Amino acid sequence: MIRYVKTTVLIFVFLVLMTASCRKEKGDKYYGTTTIDNTLYGTGPYYALGFSFDLGIEVRTSDSPGPDITVHAITDVNSVPTGAYLDTPNLVESFSLVGKGDNENDAKTLFDNLRETEATQWMLFANTIEEHQVWLFKTSGGNYVKIRIVDLLVNEGLSGPYAEVTFEWRMQPDGSTTFSG
């Protein structure tokens, strides 16, 4: 009898932990604010951390599936960092610049009021990103994401040109062109 109770308790605890770890409010993984940078990790092969919109988390560039986007520093002829860009490993023209606000409030309003994808021109990179820009992105899974550049840091890091971007994002997970919120 004691063995039966112990087994039952263990199964119950396991199920409670599994349920708790899987519980997420509907939509939580479809929006947020995230920071990624171009730091390389490992001893070879090297990898960076990018962001997966489908998973709603940072993932390694060496993972499968890998990230939807990564950030890179732009340098001049002397390798001095001058800016940054967003890249996608899917090799498909996936970025479209919606516009740029004059300040954070304008950019937030532009982002919030973007209810439907209206892009007609797509680019392979989000080249020369700047604070207060709003971009559209098409995932390899066919979903649309709106991205607002919140903060950008570009400088000469310890191991070379460093780029770090903080962005707000919202994905439309059903493949439609309309954002809900």
- Give the tens place of pLDDT for each residue, 87-97: 999 889 999 99
Quick check: 27 pLDDT over 70?
Answer: no
pLDDT band at residue 28 under the 50/70/90 scheme: low
- Give the tens place of pLDDT for each residue, 41-62: 998 889 999 999 999 999 999 9
Quick check: 84 pLDDT over 50?
Answer: yes
What is the pLDDT at residue 1?
A: 56
Domain boundaries, the chain: 25-172
What is the pLDDT at residue 22?
A: 38
Quick check: 115 pLDDT over 70?
Answer: yes
pTM: 0.82
Burial zone of 91 (CB within 10 Å; 0-12 exposed, 13-18 middle, 19+ buried): exposed
What is the pLDDT at residue 53?
A: 95
What is the pLDDT at residue 154?
A: 97
